[in-house]
Every structure is written in structure tokens, then in C-alpha cells.
Amino acid sequence: MLRVFNLQRSLEFYIGALGMQMLRRQDYPSGRFTLVFLGYGDEDSDTVLELTHNWDQQEPYAQGAAYGHIALAVNDIYATCGELAEAGVKISRSPGPMKHSPTLIAFIEDPDGYKIELIGRK
């Protein structure tokens, strides 16, 4: 689960740029928050990312030292990064070999600054 400051901007990123599908959304007016579940397939068999939007949050969230990153496998890391850069996504580490490994990785950031590692499939 990620807490997001601007839900619409986050949905544009995860659905538009990363190609996830909105699996379900629930607004909780009495609690003043929204939960959105996103993924690449049916949530009964695939991993799901939950976004939480607290309606009254006045400033972006501090991520803290415990958060590392989300990792997604991609077929062509160079083409994927090129498409994401064209769409305005921040590439914080260009594609290239991982330290001590030939595995190709890159890092991007979502609108809230959460790091997402892209890992090239072999």
C-alpha cells in the first residue's frame, strides 16, 4: 500500500504510464479516504498495488527510511524507459547492468517520489 497525495495524478501514472488496470475503487466518505487497487491481472491470481488517498492531507507524505522500492519486470528495459521518458516519467537511474550482476535494471519515480525498479526479463 502506498499513500498518495494526488490520487488523479497517481492514477495517470500507474494506469497511463505503467499500464496497470484499476481493479476496484472504494470511496469512504465517513472516513474521508479512497482506496484504489491496481494490477496487471485478476487480483485472485496476481499481485495488486493498493493506493490510499486521504482526502484531507495537506502536504505530500514523507516516505521515511524504511521504504525501499517496488520492482516490476519488463520485457525490453531500454524501450520501456524510452516510452516512459517520452511520457514525462522521471527516470532516476538509466537502464544498465546492476552492480555485481549482468541483470539490467533502471529506476523511475511515481508522482509522489516513490522509487520503482524496472528489471529486464532475460
Q: What is the reported pLDDT for 73? A: 92
Do the domains spanning 2-54 and 70-120 agree at the CATH topology level? yes
Q: What is the reported pLDDT for 65? A: 77
Name the residue with cell 535494471.
105
- Percent of the chain whose pLDDT exceeds 70: 100
Helix or strand run (H / E) with residue 10: helix 7-11
Q: Which CATH class is domain 2-54?
A: alpha beta
pLDDT of residue 72 exceeding 90, the answer is yes
Selecting among 43, 59, 109, 117, the annotated active-site residue is 117
- Please give the distance of CA 12 from its chain centroid, rounded to a whole number: 10
Q: What is the reported pLDDT for 67? A: 83
pLDDT tens column, 22-50:
999 999 999 999 999 999 999 889 989 99
Contact between residue 11 and residue 110 where contact means Cβ atoms under 8 Å apart = no
Annotated binding site for Zn(2+): 50, 69, 117
User: What residues does each domain of the chain span?
Assistant: 2-54, 70-120
Considering the domain 70-120 in this protein, what is its CATH number?
3.10.180.10
Is residue 43 flagged as an active site residue? Answer: no
